[in-house]
Structure 1
Amino acid sequence: MIEYELVRSKRKTLAVQVTREGRVIVRAPLRLAKYRIERFVAEHTDWIVRALADQQSRRAAHPEPDEAKQAELIRRAKIELPSKVQHYAKLMNLYPTGLKITSARTRFGSCSGKNSICFSWRLMDYPEPAIDYVVVHELAHIAHKNHGPQFWALVERYLPDYCARRAMLRE
């Protein structure tokens, strides 16, 4: 049997999640019988085992940097990202209202509804073409707030090889 953390709430469905840290969380309705939850976990054991292995290999491939390495990545992000944003913003004629460097773990960049862009300093641990891809991707969100065909056409106009660059982020 798989060990899991049970979170009950006012929901109607059962769900299982494997966190980046390798914890298994099962979310269940408040009054659902324990045997039904256990049966659900048993039915999803194969998926949970695969997800745990996947998270373990991701952590091994990208371990948390020590303090010195983290400080260096933050320093580089503060120097390099604003100039990259400026370069591509001018090229694309899309200008963000703000730029922040964050410690986000689950996304390399984001663009708010008010066109302010955030980048994780963790992005700086990836190859330059991948960094440029994230910059162009977030700037494209100023024009298109979704991942529809027009969004991808805009990204492709400035980075025809964006698929290869994006793949670098997954390696």
Structure 2
Amino acid sequence: MRVFTSLDELEAATGESLGSSDWLTIDQQRIDTFAEATGDHQWIHVDVERSKDGPFGGTVAHGYLTLSLLPMLGQQVFSLDTPGAKLNYGVNKVRFPNPVLVGSRVRAHAELGGVVDVPAGKQMTLKWSIEIEGVAKPACVAETVVLLLT
């Protein structure tokens, strides 16, 4: 795991790959728990029997479930041991090119897109790809923005 201890060190890493997380298996319980938390009970996610005859041959994870794994997987990739608070500021772009079938293993890969000055401190952009083991197209690609308050 990469650890940044200063904002100068972070800025110097612009454009670099930060690495990948460990693999995580997406099981039906995780999908069902996400459905309960969000109220999204679409049958392709939660109806195991019906989804066998559906477009994917089984249940698939919600796209937003896949995206929501970034904080957990991201902490395995890098750490900001810098002064000040770190705040999620938003997402510039998110796409879900490939469904995550139940039982699949996924991992996150991060690249530091950039660090720029803003009135409150620094704004960091991260380029993420959530890969599916053994599948060429990723499950999710996203560009996230973090405010680093000074």
Higher percent of residues as strand: 2
Q: Which has the higher contact order (CA 8 A, sep 6+)?
A: 2
Q: How high is the TM-score relative to the length of structure 2?
A: 0.26
Higher percent of residues as helix: 1
Query: Rg larger in 1 or in 2?
Result: 1
